[in-house]
Homo-oligomer: A and B are copies of this chain.
Amino acid sequence: MSKYWSKITQSVEPYVCGEQPKDKKYIKLNTNESPYPPSPRVLDAIKNAANSDLRLYPDPDCDKLRQTIAEYYNLNKEQVFIGNGSDEVLAISFLAFFNTDKPIIFPDISYSFYPVYAGLYNIKYKLAKLNEDFSIPVDKFLTGNGGVVIPNPNAPTGRCLGLDSIEKILNYNSENVVIIDEAYVDFGGTSSVGLIEKYPNLLVIHTLSKSRCLAGIRLGFALGREELIDGLNRIKNSFNSYTVDRIANEAAIEAIKDENYFEQCVDKVENTRQWVIAELKELGFNIVPSKANFIFITHPTYAAKLIFTNLRKKGVLVRYFDKDRIDNYLRVSIGSDEDMKFFIKKLKEIIDEIN
């Protein structure tokens, strides 16, 4: 603790992200990255953007990228907000929309950055306890909140909420912003984007880090009514005018435009997920139904923490959360078929070694 730290610096509990190992080469199934490289069109766009124009600031409004995203989702560009990764978009959204006397609400088992944002901005929150099967208890979000945040599919569980349930939540919370964090929606979920026309309180957040294979480029966006996007811009322009650089702009445009490549990558992940689940069931694991590029698994006999530690020793990183209710689960990102065969092989070795 330093005497120079502000009260907020003293009190925050920073987010701890999944390990980015530097010691040796691992099979990385711990941060839900895509096992596939970005579209070749993205790589070409980056190479083309490596030119003398880098001496100039980027377009602070990302007009061309917003137009591209708007066309993809059948919106107009005033309904699109761009940020330096969806984490930044979320952080800006918390500050832009949440600070009434009433607490905001999000699931107790969820993306662990939400309580961190709340801590950073002194926003009161309460947790909606997930049902025993980790499904989202819709009724608990109908309680007079100061705002709602739901990841759909949820992380780290992978479970999805239907649009009928989301509409119920949107209707009840008509005076507050409801954020649907769709980081993982492309892997089998149903997007709420189509509800934007009907609900002025809906903000949908996406990222290029998962289904677009671009975690390394830092690009996220929010979709919603113009008044919400205006609010986000007011905060962003009070923080950093140019959050997205020239290269990321060009890369993102091509990532959105190359629909074929995107669909191929998503299909491959879904196919791999299917056979991995079957193999894990053979080994006696229980798997939470997943519409994401990860699965959340537990075993009635072998402790998750022990498996986690032994996988690490054998060169496979998965994510273990030492938290109430989920401390016997592992979140495993869906890698390539080759990665997942290695993972299953090592898992079998570990089970053999324990027995």
A residues with CB within 8 A of B: 2-9, 12-18, 20, 22, 28, 31, 33-38, 42-44, 46-47, 49-60, 63, 84-85, 87-88, 91, 95-100, 116-117, 119-120, 175-177, 200-201, 209, 213-218, 227-228, 230-231, 233-235, 237-248, 251
Contacts and interface: CB of A to CB of B under 8 A. Distances in A.
A214 to B, nearest CB: 6
A246 B6 CA distance: 31
Contacts of A95: 6, 8-9, 120
Given A43-B51, A51-B37, A231 B2 contact: yes
Contacts of A8: 95-96, 99, 235
6 contacts: A2-B231, A5-B234, A6-B99, A20-B56, A33-B56, A55-B216
A303 to B, nearest CB: 28
Q: Which one of A37, A87, A218 has the highest number of Cβ atoms from chain B below 10 Å of its Cβ?
A: A218
A200 to B, nearest CB: 7
Given A50-B43, A216-B55, A240 B4 contact: no
A247 B5 contact: no
A342 to B, nearest CB: 17
A240 B87 contact: yes
A4 B200 contact: yes
Contacts of A17: 57, 60, 241-242
A58 to B, nearest CB: 6
Given A58-B216, A240-B91, A245-B248, A176 B4 contact: yes
Contact of A228 (B2, B20, B57, B209): B2
Nearest to A120: B238
A306 to B, nearest CB: 27
A111 B352 CA distance: 65
Contacts of A34: 55
Q: Which one of A63, A213, A231 has the highest number of Cβ atoms from chain B below 10 Å of its Cβ?
A: A231
A231 B12 CA distance: 10
A4 B97 contact: yes
B88 A57 contact: no
Contacts of A85: 240, 242-243
Contacts of A36: 55
Given A59-B20, A84-B243, A2 B238 contact: no
Contacts of A231: 2, 4-6, 9
Nearest to A31: B57
A246 B99 contact: no
